[in-house]
A and B are shown apart, each in its own frame.
Chain A
């Protein structure tokens, strides 16, 4: 086994071997999750706290289910109604929770870098469940698992990522992961939704969706993050759908066996046509949700192993010092 990280803050600092380790273990959890009795005890006695400073239904329930299936005691902190509203700083919130001795902290925050800041102040394993426009590592890992199970490999593919790349942490984590695995990455979207300096990331950038989809094995759609828009990035939703929405005609430019992905929640009729999303021969969107639970179980299992090993070393040290 090779997974040495203490926290999972992003894909950027993971080695390809570590990514493969997560995916291999996740494959086993997929099998477990398909049985009637899904419960294991690898996290028995451990406490997992989900801190979501930003609203989330899907990711939070996925992490909750993953923790429960591994036998952990899971607590959800609803940060919208908590002391944060009373003016407590992020670090004080972290220190308060840390004093309750959690073992795994799953954190989502609206500011890039906030989860990393928090991880410096606690002595448990921290999982980034999305920080601002920075990273969302478990999403990239579950996407990789979905691709690998569907295409049989996660190397040497042509992957098109389409839509609001600029505001998307999902896109960033996927860029890192797919790049590390030596895939050809194409970014498609209007220039107002492309991050600055993107040409230096080793990917091709297309403004014309049909050209960008040419020969793609994987078509990854991104949610048009309306809540993040200050306004004025695109003229209208209907023009956006006309130029960048995935419909049957544009999908025909990709390889005939290309798969369609979406991190959810979808805006049907804005970035993706409903019939494409529901086409089970092309769309793997429901698989992504399934893989999400398995990948999160794998990540928490691996981090818990490292945490136990670290604490074991510390305890041994205490005896002999």
Chain B
């Protein structure tokens, strides 16, 4: 099948350009793009000058299968992803039970077929994510695991971790770490400082992130493993990351869109939809993280999509569940940074599509000849007020409920097939 998208603003995150042009899709791949004419017999879609970019590759999405399907299923997460311009979801293994055996990974892979977008899976680094014994990294890679992580569970035993890193390095597996010193962060609900003290909530210093990162980086230096820090959210961590990159360690880092667009004061009067792991930071930290993305020091922007049911959020702040859904709001929230002049559109898609795909060895994330035709067509200026009950996710725990946003997804394509707007037949 041949599809011709004409009159688009082409966002190229590799060359960091945006140019008017057309794009031709053949057999699920980008066949040609630029100043080209429609071939005979092609189906033509007029993009009306709107933005066409590679589909988002969202690194670190929690889906409730197995174990918590009442929060999110592969089907609902996939529909939310399609509506949000996310064409590849990298699922987290922090399920019930954890994805820590080839059998559970096969189950998840089978279930993922219900999603209209691509789903790739990460597996746990240690069995049960409890930091004692490494998982069958080899078998799990054979079963399709793209990376290994214990999500927010931090292994405190450095010996266990160094062995897991060494073993992973031998197999060329990538490890995704959650930089945090659990001794400091245990029980914390917000970042320590004026806000935490005002609200009387237990806080954790951003230094806990740096301590965790420095420990992980030392182990990376020791073992040579490929390492990605899931979220770097504080200014105090950035010099450590820069040093590791400067000496040539195979290290990258991500940040959640919430830490780039919100700060600790957004929690306000104990609004639990703003409770995250790690907690939202100070405005200085937020600005430093945005700058680090612009500089390329932080490589990846992700949604850290974490569905939570209503009951788990209708509790006093300290007891409430942590995390927010983000698949559908990642793009409009990221466009806040574009409208604020902090990041260009190609820079945004470098962090949301190109870099995560490259890091995981996927062919996605590029707007180039031969690349998979995973695309998002969006209007960066279309305004709307978010109503959380319109989200496709089963869980509606978004911090952006009722806020004004700009940027609407007009169409999403996976392998050249339109998956959004949803075909409701």
Distance in Å: Cβ of B205 to nearest Cβ of chain A? 7
Give the residues in chain B near A111, CB-CB below 8 Å. Answer: 316-319
Which B residues lie within 8 Å of A133 (CB)?
200-202
Given contacts A112-B199, A112-B270, A113-B201, contact A201 B194 (CB under 8 A): yes
Q: Of A90, A91, A112, which is within 8 A of B200 by CB?
A: A112
| Interface residue? A131 (CB, 8 A) | yes
B287 at the interface (CB under 8 A from A): no
Which residue of B is nearest A166, CB measured? Answer: B197
With a cutoff of 8 Å between Cβ atoms, the chain A residues found around residue B200 in the complex are 112-113, 131-135, 169, 172
| Contact of B199 with A91 in the complex, beta carbons under 8 Å | no
Residues on A with C-beta less than 8 A from B315 are: 89-90, 117
Q: Are A197 and B311 in contact (CB under 8 A)?
A: no
Write the nearest CB–CB distance from B401 to chain A, whole angstroms. Answer: 15
Q: Does A44 lie at the interface of the complex (its beta carbon under 8 Å from any beta carbon of B)?
A: no
Among B192, B198, B205, B317, which residue has the most Cβ atoms of chain A within 10 A? Answer: B198
Given contacts A89-B315, A197-B192, contact A116 B270 (CB under 8 A): yes
Interface residue A195 (Cβ < 8 Å from any Cβ of B): yes
Give, as a whole number of angstroms, the nearest-CB distance from A149 to chain B: 28
Given known A196-B203, A201-B197, contact A91–B317 (CB-CB < 8 A) = no
Question: How far apart are the CA atoms of A112 and B272 in the complex, in Å?
Answer: 12
Using Cβ atoms and an 8 Å threshold, which residues of chain B touch A134?
199-201
How many Å lie between the Cα of A91 and that of B319 in the bound state? 13
Residues from chain B with Cβ under 8 Å of A113 in the complex: 199-201, 269-270, 316-318
- Once A113-B269, A172-B200 are accepted as A-B contacts, the answer to whether A197 and B317 lie under 8 Å apart by CB is no
Contacts of B316 in A (CB 8 A): 90, 109, 111-114, 117, 132
Residue A200 is within 8 A (CB to CB) of chain B in the complex: yes
Q: How far is the CA of A65 from the CA of B317 in the complex (A)?
A: 32
In B286-313, the 8 Å CB interface with A consists of 311
The residue in A12, A117, A169, A201 that gathers the most chain B C-beta atoms within 10 A of its C-beta is A117
Q: Kindly report which residue of chain B lies nearest to residue A133, judged by CB atoms.
A: B200
Rounded to whole angstroms, the CA-CA distance of A40 and B412 in the bound complex is 70
User: Which residue of the partner chain A has the closest CB to B191?
Assistant: A196
Q: How far is the CB of A134 from chain B (nearest CB, A)?
A: 3
Q: Give the contacts of A180-237 with B (CB-CB under 8 A).
A: 195-198, 200-201
Do the beta carbons of A91 and B194 come within 8 Å of each other?
no
Q: Which residue of B lies closest to A121 (CB)?
A: B314
The count of residues in chain B whose C-beta lies closer than 8 Å to any C-beta of chain A is 22
On chain B, the residues within 8 Å of A12 by CB distance are 198
> Which chain A residue has the least Cβ–Cβ distance from B282?
A197
A89 and B194 contacting across the interface, CB-CB below 8 Å: no
B193 interface residue (CB < 8 Å to A): yes
List A residues 68-115 near B (Cβ within 8 Å): 89-91, 109, 111-114
Q: Which residues of B contact A198 (CB under 8 A)?
A: 197
Interface: B196 (CB within 8 A): yes
B205 touches A196 (CB 8 A): yes
Within 8 A of B (CB), among A253-273: none
B203 to chain A, nearest CB (A): 6
A89 cross-chain contacts in B, Cβ below 8 A: 311, 314-315
Q: How far is the CA of A197 from the CA of B199 in the complex (A)?
A: 12
B102-126: CB near A (< 8 Å → 1, else 0) gives: 0000000000000000000000000
Q: Would A200 and B194 count as touching, CB distance under 8 A?
A: yes
Chain A nearest Cβ from B197, distance in angstroms: 4
Taking the complex as formed, is B195 at the interface, i.e. its CB lies under 8 A from any CB of chain A?
Answer: yes
- With A133-B201, A201-B197 as given contacts, are A112 and B318 in contact (CB-CB < 8 Å)? yes
Q: What's the nearest-Cβ distance from chain B to residue A98, in Å?
A: 15
Which B residue sits closest to A120, measured CB to CB?
B269
The chain A residue sitting closest to B192, CB to CB, is: A196
B185 to chain A, nearest CB (A): 14
Query: Shortest beta-carbon distance, B198 to chain A, in Å?
Result: 8
Assess the B311–A195 pair: CB atoms within 8 A: no
**What's the Cα separation between A112 and B187 when bound, in Å?**
13
Complex CA gap A35/B83 in Å reads 71
A142 to B270: give the CA distance in the assembly, Å: 26
Q: A111-B317, A113-B316 are in contact. Are A197 and B201 (CB under 8 A)?
A: no
A153-170 vs B: 1/0 string, CB under 8 Å? 000000000000000010
Contacts of A201 in B (CB 8 A): 194, 197
Given contacts A112-B200, A113-B199, A169-B200, contact A196 B193 (CB under 8 A): yes
Instruction: Report the Cα distance A12→B200, complex, angstroms.
Output: 12
> Distance in Å from the Cβ of B131 to the closest Cβ of chain A?
22
In this complex, the member of A109, A132, A197 whose beta carbon has the largest number of chain B beta carbons within 10 angstroms is A197
Chain A, range 110-143, C-beta contacts under 8 Å to B:
111-114, 116-117, 131-135
Q: Complex Cα distance A267/B314, Å?
A: 37
CA distance A111 to B199 in the complex (A): 11
> Given A116-B270, A197-B192, A201-B194, A91–B201 Cβ distance below 8 Å?
no
Instruction: Determine whether the beta carbon of A117 is less than 8 Å from that of B197.
Output: no
- Bound: A200/B200 CA distance, A: 15
Per the bound structure, the CA–CA distance linking A109 and B196 in Å amounts to 18
Between A89, A112, A132, A169, the greatest number of chain B beta carbons within 10 A of the residue's beta carbon is seen for A112
Asked if B318 and A132 make an inter-chain contact with CB atoms under 8 angstroms apart, the answer reads: yes
With most chain B CB atoms within 10 A of its CB, the pick from A109, A114, A198 is A114
Which residues of the partner chain A approach B319 to less than 8 Å between Cβ atoms? Answer: 111
A119 vs B199: C-alpha distance in the bound complex, in angstroms?
16
A195–B318 CB distance below 8 A: no
Q: Using a CB-CB cutoff of 8 Å, which residues 184-224 of chain B contact chain A? A: 192-203, 205
Q: For the complex, give the distance between the alpha carbons of A233 and B194 in Å.
A: 20
Once the chains bind, are B318 and A197 in contact (CB under 8 Å)? no
Contact residues of B between 308 and 337, Cβ < 8 Å to A: 311, 314-319
Contact B196 A196 (CB under 8 A): yes
**Please, what's the 1-or-0 string for B248-290, where 1 marks a CB less than 8 Å from any CB in chain A?**
0000000000000000000001100000000000000000000
The minimal Cβ–Cβ distance linking A6 to chain B, given in whole angstroms, is 14
- Complex A-B, nearest 8 residue pairs according to Cβ-Cβ distance, in ascending order: A113-B270, A134-B200, A133-B200, A197-B194, A111-B316, A195-B197, A112-B200, A196-B192
Known contacts A112-B200, A117-B315, then 13 further A-B pairs from the complex at CB < 8 Å, ordered by chain A residue: A111-B316, A111-B317, A112-B270, A112-B317, A113-B199, A113-B318, A116-B269, A117-B314, A132-B316, A134-B199, A196-B205, A197-B197, A201-B197
17 contacts between A and B (CB under 8 A): A90-B315, A111-B319, A112-B200, A112-B270, A113-B201, A113-B316, A116-B270, A132-B201, A133-B200, A133-B201, A134-B200, A135-B200, A172-B197, A172-B198, A196-B203, A196-B205, A197-B195
